[in-house]
Structure 1
């Protein structure tokens, strides 16, 4: 009986471990995706800002 209960407890523990690792993996992947999207958005904002500054300097030099 002890062997059966030990086997059951170890099986349950392994199942819980793998489930928690799966959830952790999904959370990390989502976090990385959000971070990448934020970096891409910041890079786009920086590029547009630099382009607008160039246009403003060009306009000022023409006046």
Structure 2
């Protein structure tokens, strides 16, 4: 039976893509927490969230 495992280059690609997705999620959460800590205006925080989603 032939070896059907994925090549190491694909594994590296998959791990790097997963790490980038996790980092994007962390960035999204932290940016809003920083905005909320700096500003007491809810509209400003919501505007930053909307701009973040649009980018």
TM-score range, shorter chain: 0.5 to 0.7
Higher normalized contact order (CA 8 Å, seq sep 6+, divided by chain length): 2
Count of matched residue pairs: 38
Give a deviation string over 1:8-59, Cα, whole Å, max 9, x none.
1000100000000000111111110001111222x6xxxxxxxxxxxxxxxx
RMSD across aligned C-alpha pairs, in angstroms? 2.1
Q: TM-score, normalised by structure 1?
A: 0.51
* Higher radius of gyration, 1 or 2: 1
**Structure 2 gap segments, 5+ residues each:** 42-55
C-alpha distance in 2 between matches for 1:18 and 1:27: 14
C-alpha distance in 2 between matches for 1:8 and 1:37: 45
Runs of 4+ in 1 over 3 A off after TM superposition: none
Q: TM-score, normalised by structure 2?
A: 0.58
